[in-house]
Amino acid sequence: MELYFHWFDLFGIAVFAVTGTLAAWRNQMDGFAVIVLASVTAIGGGTLRDLLLGVPVIWINDNSYFYAIFIAAVGTILLLRNRLTVPHNTLQIADAFGLAVFVITGTQKSLDHGTSVMVAILLGTMSGVCGGMIRDVLCREIPMVFRGELYAITCILAGVLYTSLLALGVEQLQAMVIAMFSLLLFRTASIKWKLTIPVFGKHHNDLGEP
């Protein structure tokens, strides 16, 4: 299973690096910003998760993560330079693929290190959303997780689904694939049909506070 985890991780790293590159391109940033945004998006969530678990950070002793980031970033740059337009929701769709991988692998890694199911789901969600939060903050945007979209909720539901499948005796790899596909389906459906949760609307009056 460790081999599967590694390849899942590399795929998630590459996809999140693509979203960081897309964010830099959308905001007309330079090449250094591309590398920074691609890197923090790809490894930010996993780094925070590992620090909280008190285990070695995933990329400290494995250069393959940085190779994946570099290849994904360069490939995305080359694609962007040869296209005149990019669909407006490309970043969201790519982000959904990254979420699908990191939430489930993050949940399983937390379970492997002895956390409760609830904590594992929360850490799995953190693995998926924190890199994108850092990316959006650096771009001076409100993170997607705070915009009313079905974002963190889909991560939590997928974590609940995954841990429930394990509790029912479903084989681990099969449970991971089902949960990842379900999260991707939930998230892309929310993007397509613009499903949201209630948020504060525009205010026309002051709160009257001093």
Q: Is the pLDDT of residue 74 over 90?
A: yes
- Where is 161: in which H helix or E strand? helix 152-167
Residue 16 burial by CB count (10 A; 0-12/13-18/19+): exposed, middle or buried? buried
Q: Is the pLDDT of residue 204 over 60?
A: no
* Percentage with pLDDT > 90 across the chain: 80
Supply 194's token pair. 């613009």
Q: What is the mean pLDDT of residues 2-9?
A: 88
Supply 110's token pair. 């937390």
Backbone angles phi, psi at 208, to 5 degrees: 75, 20
Q: Can you give the length of the chain in residues? A: 210
∠ CA 73-70-56, nearest 5°, is 120
Q: Is the pTM above the cut of 0.75?
A: yes
Supply 94's token pair. 């790519």
Q: How far from 21 is each of 24, 97, 142, 210, CA to CA, in Å?
A: 5, 15, 18, 43
**Do residues 191 and 92 touch, judged by C-beta distance below 8 A?**
yes
Q: CA 156, 157, 162, 167 torsion: positive or negative?
A: positive
Largest CA distance in the chain: 59
Q: What is the mean pLDDT of residues 132-154?
A: 92
Average pLDDT, the chain: 92
78: Cβ contacts below 8 Å, ≥ 6 apart: none
**Do residues 20 and 37 touch, judged by C-beta distance below 8 A?**
yes
Q: Report which of residues 122 and 90 the model is more confident about.
A: 122
Q: How far from 11 is each of 40, 68, 128, 169, CA to CA, in Å?
A: 15, 8, 13, 26
